[in-house]
Chain A
């Protein structure tokens, strides 16, 4: 394994993207993801890459759209308000079946909100965000190591399915440093016969477009895209199970909330309360199957979130109302403490623990 170095989560994403063959970055600064753009500004010129600070987030995502059409690996990054600005472009990229990576290092909202960590863009990331029937592949790291590893995976999955990928992190993960073994240089070269690279007069030209005025054609486009979404749902749902073997209380949490929840699980186990954690690593596709299986065994679920309760809806859909699902949350840049999670589980457990 590579030697471990200390890096901020934001920097680890940037370096991992470069190692995954990304040579085109377009963005606009915003706290708490700025280190990512700063890293790219420093590194890209040295490796014949492109770093461009666009005039706005909207411009940046449309530059991503353009480069993606040529088949090159390309990314942008921002934080919540900036990601809202990008939604039109994201919808166009999805509607044109192009791969790219969009990083959202979330902060509290709505509106300009604050600059402290949040997970309140869950709906936006998983249920649309822009207009039309589309999905992003959404990966949720919970460590600096995963900031790097999932960046590489996001590029690969995006290329494979021609679906834009989003890395959904938060301010804590972006700002914190941990030891990270950076992934090896890898370029998973998927053939991209659709790319607009010049025909040299030898073939019919490719067209990248999301406009289909003939409804039959647009319907077929949507149906074809959903066949790919189905394959993604079947093959790419990822999660981590932590102490779930004999668990009676199942915490569901991703990202920084999962880190807090792990502490809570350890503490609850010490007190004889059988708690476990299912940590979604992809939230689209949501790991429905493992939640449904857990519903057969556990007494209740606790959804720990830095939002007013967004993922909890997917937990309820997945467990099909078989067991109670309780929300444990903080919002606005606040983070639940392990004690808050412990108290929530104990309250449900009541005298039955």
Chain B
């Protein structure tokens, strides 16, 4: 099985970091994977996206043009990529910031008010981790098992004090039901 994931949002929303967490989770599960950021003159407030491919087989092209899973962290990202998602795929919508509904009826849609949930936790910058949790809950490509091990790889020793709150944010998303 190969799952192509596209995470898109504003620069500063932690889109690339969310992709890293998923990548390490895949690595710890013994899967093949690739992580490819959009790079360039992007900055906080600009657009950023990140392609993650998780597979049982070696990954061919690392570029995701037809995602199986789209995490849309803002409206421009949903507008841009909604039509690209494979039929039967998943769209996770950050519903604090995106007010409209997904137009398509051939995809599974989950509305997650990640920014609000993160704010309620006192960690307004961790909406990305809430979405990671929801993705793990809804997508068969990755499991929740030994999540801590993967997170330890991504949260550096320097920021060890942020480990628990990141884990909590992921679990909040994982357990979120609309």
Please report which residues of chain A, range 257-294, place their CB below 8 angstroms from some CB of chain B when the two chains form the complex. Answer: 259-260, 262-263, 266
Q: Mark A150-166, 1 if CB is under 8 A from B, else 0.
A: 00000000000000000
Tell whether A32 pairs with B39 under 8 Å between CB atoms, given A6-B20, A178-B59: yes
Inter-chain contact A260/B60, CB cutoff 8 Å: yes
Which one of B35, B36, B39, B153 has the highest number of Cβ atoms from chain A below 10 Å of its Cβ? B39
Tell whether A175 pairs with B39 under 8 Å between CB atoms, given A4-B27, A263-B60: yes
Inter-chain contact A337/B27, CB cutoff 8 Å: no
Inter-chain contact A175/B61, CB cutoff 8 Å: no
Tell whether A260 pairs with B33 under 8 Å between CB atoms, given A6-B23, A32-B39: no
Inter-chain contact B23/A338, CB cutoff 8 Å: no
Please report which residues of chain B, range 25-53, place their CB below 8 angstroms from some CB of chain A when the two chains form the complex. Answer: 27, 32-37, 39-41
User: Which single residue of chain B is at the shortest CB-CB distance from A336?
Assistant: B61
Q: Check A44 for interface membership: any CB of B closer than 8 A.
A: no
Which one of B23, B33, B63, B65 has the highest number of Cβ atoms from chain A below 10 Å of its Cβ? B63
Q: Check A53 for interface membership: any CB of B closer than 8 A.
A: no
A337 to B62, CA, bound (A): 11
Tell whether A172 pairs with B62 under 8 Å between CB atoms, given A6-B27, A177-B35: yes
Which of the residues B27, B40, B41, B63 comes within 8 Å of A179, measured between beta carbons?
Answer: B27
Inter-chain contact B60/A172, CB cutoff 8 Å: no
Which residues of B have CB within 8 Å of A172? 36, 62-63
Nearest CB of chain A from residue B169's CB, rounded to whole Å: 21
Inter-chain contact B65/A337, CB cutoff 8 Å: yes
| Size category of the binding interface on chain B | 20 to 34
Inter-chain contact B60/A259, CB cutoff 8 Å: yes
Which residues of A have CB within 8 Å of B35? 6, 176-178
> How many residues of A are counted as interface, with CB atoms below 8 angstroms from the partner's CB atoms?
22
Inter-chain contact A115/B40, CB cutoff 8 Å: yes
Which residues of B have CB within 8 Å of A260? 60-61, 63
A177 to B17, CA, bound (A): 12
Inter-chain contact A338/B61, CB cutoff 8 Å: yes
Q: Check B24 for interface membership: any CB of A closer than 8 A.
A: yes
Which residues of B have CB within 8 Å of A4? 27
Which of the residues B24, B34, B40, B153 comes within 8 Å of A178, measured between beta carbons?
Answer: B34
Inter-chain contact B61/A31, CB cutoff 8 Å: no
Which of the residues B20, B27, B40 comes within 8 Å of A116, measured between beta carbons?
Answer: B40
Q: Is the interface of B mostly helix, strand, loop or mixed?
A: mixed
Which residues of A have CB within 8 Å of B61? 256, 259-260, 262-263, 335, 338
Which residues of B have CB within 8 Å of A115? 39-41
Which residues of B have CB within 8 Å of A171? 39
Which residues of A have CB within 8 Å of B60? 259-260, 262-263, 266, 338
Tell whether A177 pairs with B23 under 8 Å between CB atoms, given A172-B62, A260-B63: yes
User: Which single residue of chain B is at the shortest CB-CB distance from A265?
Assistant: B60
Which residues of B have CB within 8 Å of A179? 27, 32-33
Inter-chain contact A335/B63, CB cutoff 8 Å: yes
Which one of A4, A172, A256 has the highest number of Cβ atoms from chain B below 10 Å of its Cβ? A172
Nearest CB of chain B from residue A291's CB, rounded to whole Å: 22
A259 to B55, CA, bound (A): 15
Please report which residues of chain A, range 292-349, place their CB below 8 angstroms from some CB of chain B when the two chains form the complex. Answer: 335, 337-338
Which residues of B have CB within 8 Å of A116? 40
A337 to B60, CA, bound (A): 11
A338 to B59, CA, bound (A): 13
Nearest CB of chain B from residue A104's CB, rounded to whole Å: 17
Please report which residues of chain B, range 108-156, place their CB below 8 angstroms from some CB of chain A when the two chains form the complex. Answer: 153
Inter-chain contact B39/A178, CB cutoff 8 Å: no
A-B contact pairs, 25 of them (CB 8 A): A6-B20, A6-B27, A31-B39, A32-B39, A115-B39, A115-B41, A116-B40, A171-B39, A175-B39, A177-B20, A177-B34, A177-B36, A178-B33, A178-B34, A178-B35, A178-B62, A179-B27, A179-B33, A256-B61, A259-B60, A260-B60, A262-B61, A263-B61, A335-B63, A338-B61
Interface residues of A (CB under 8 A from B): 4, 6, 31-32, 115-116, 171-172, 175-179, 256, 259-260, 262-263, 266, 335, 337-338
Given A172-B62, A176-B36, A179-B27, 17 further pairs, Cβ under 8 A: A4-B27, A6-B20, A32-B39, A115-B39, A116-B40, A172-B63, A176-B34, A177-B20, A178-B34, A179-B33, A260-B63, A262-B61, A263-B60, A263-B61, A335-B63, A338-B60, A338-B61
Interface residues of B (CB under 8 A from A): 20, 23-24, 27, 32-37, 39-41, 59-63, 65, 153
Closest 9 A/B residue pairs (Cβ)? A263-B60, A177-B35, A176-B36, A260-B61, A262-B60, A259-B61, A175-B39, A176-B62, A263-B61
